[in-house]
Structure 1
Amino acid sequence: MNHKWRVPFNAVYLTSFIGGIFCLINLGSTFGFNIVVSLTLLALLSTYMISIGCVLRKRILKEDLPPARWSLGRLGLPVNAFAFCYSFFVIVFSCFPTELPVGLDTANWAPAVWAGVLLIALAAYIMHGRSHYTAPVLFVEGRKAAGVGLQST
């Protein structure tokens, strides 16, 4: 962690390098590229659905949202509902295979990999994260408790 810039440059470099390697998959296999794209869609849209779903729930129950720099006003509820439904639609269709008939070599394995990663993440959280994780909300000015620092491993 670079404390001057407050950016973990080593992590940024590593993920950029790995992302670049994944981009090379298309050169060797279109099928492999389709799985990477499907897996990326599943991962991104599932996390978007979680955050959009939480905001949508608060809007439906008419609970207060934290202050923001800008707001959609009355259009916030329909825009969030559309985004949630569209994300669900894309997630469902990104799980389909790209060709028929479906065999072991033509199946879309992205949903299985996605579920496996979710299970591994859940197990890691249960075994380690529950006792060592510091929620980001604890760092918000005005809510930060005395003595709360960056989380440790």
Structure 2
Amino acid sequence: MGPCASLFEQGGVGGIHAGLRLPSREVACLIAFTGPIYALIGPDAAVHIPEEVPDASRIVPLAMVSTLVINGVTGLAMAITYAYCLGPLDAATEPETISNVATASRQMFAFARDRGIPFARFFSHICPGLDVPLNAILISALFTALLSLINLGSTVAFKAILAIGVVALLKSYITSIGYILLKRIRGEELLPRRWSLGVPLGWFCNIVGWAYVIVAFIFAFFPISNHPSAVSMNWASAVYGGVAIVATAYYFLYARRLYIPPLSRLA
């Protein structure tokens, strides 16, 4: 609501401050579209640790659905509360902090296990007794702390790094849901699973979910105010593009000779 109200007050995307054009409330609200997503991204947490969960094919889907219901209800209550107690917009849009250590460490471990990142043997090591990827967890925590220190020197640089979080997450959703839709369109059999919504409801959820994240992905690159400064600019496009270029170059120049896709491990 903060970004939506801020953009609307400043004339909206395409609006002219002199008042020659009306502000675009619709575009402003679409740019603020990414805010409520944070109340709905909890379910993906369980996906990153199925190897550490007993009876994962049953427990993980149950955890995802129950988390979605709880987060949706409590998120709506929080949104209503914030709407009435928001206060000054400047204070409400202060920089956020980083809190994705669990997800990052498990993703690092998974890619290292499949030899998709440098120093794969070190990051894929499972600590005996603890049965967790301790090296990946410690490195993720260390980099989280170091990234937080950037805010002490440059708020612009810190925001630029944080900007990649939402768009990268949404891109992963677009990719995974898109491949499932592609297999459905081709009439190919999906992977074996113990929990399924069935064909009609599965199609509906995939299409609606894919459309939702695509819209959110596009507007996640927009700044939250008209005529942004260096501080208020959304640097997601620059950071995301830079990481994508480096990752693509690393894959084609080196990692493709070592990377083992997860499905190949099941064969």
**TM-score, normalised with respect to structure 1:** 0.77
Change (3 A) 1:82 1:23: farther
Match of 2:242 in 1: 116
C-alpha separation between the residues in 2 aligned to 1:33 and 1:124? Answer: 25
> Structure 1: which 4+ aligned runs deviate by more than 2 Å?
2-8, 16-38, 102-107
C-alpha separation between the residues in 1 aligned to 2:159 and 2:178? Answer: 27
Q: CA deviation at 1:62?
A: 2.1
Q: CA deviation at 1:30?
A: 7.1
Q: Residue 53 in 1 paired to residue 167 in 2?
A: no
Change (3 A) 1:26 1:79: farther
Match of 1:42 in 2: 167
Q: Residue 107 in 1 paired to residue 107 in 2?
A: no
Match of 2:126 in 1: 2
Match of 1:63 in 2: 188
| Identity of matched residues, % | 36
Q: Secondary structure at the match of 1:65?
A: coil
Unaligned runs of 5+ in 1: 144-153
Q: CA deviation at 1:7?
A: 3.6
Match of 1:146 in 2: none
C-alpha separation between the residues in 2 aligned to 1:27 and 1:43? Answer: 25
Match of 2:201 in 1: 75
Partner AA of 1:40 in structure 2: G
Unaligned runs of 5+ in 2: 1-124
Superposition RMSD on alpha carbons, in Å? Answer: 2.5
Change (3 A) 1:86 1:23: farther
Match of 1:147 in 2: none
Is the CA contact (8 Å cut-off) linking 1:35 and 1:109 kept in structure 2? Answer: yes
Q: CA deviation at 1:135?
A: 1.5
Q: CA deviation at 1:128?
A: 0.3
Q: Secondary structure at the match of 2:225?
A: coil
Q: CA deviation at 1:19?
A: 2.8
Q: CA deviation at 1:106?
A: 3.3
Q: CA deviation at 1:20?
A: 4.5
Q: Secondary structure at the match of 2:201?
A: helix
C-alpha separation between the residues in 2 aligned to 1:80 and 1:103? Answer: 38
Is the CA contact (8 Å cut-off) linking 2:159 and 2:235 kept in structure 1? Answer: no
Superposed, 1:91-106 pairs within 5 Å as 91-106=217-232
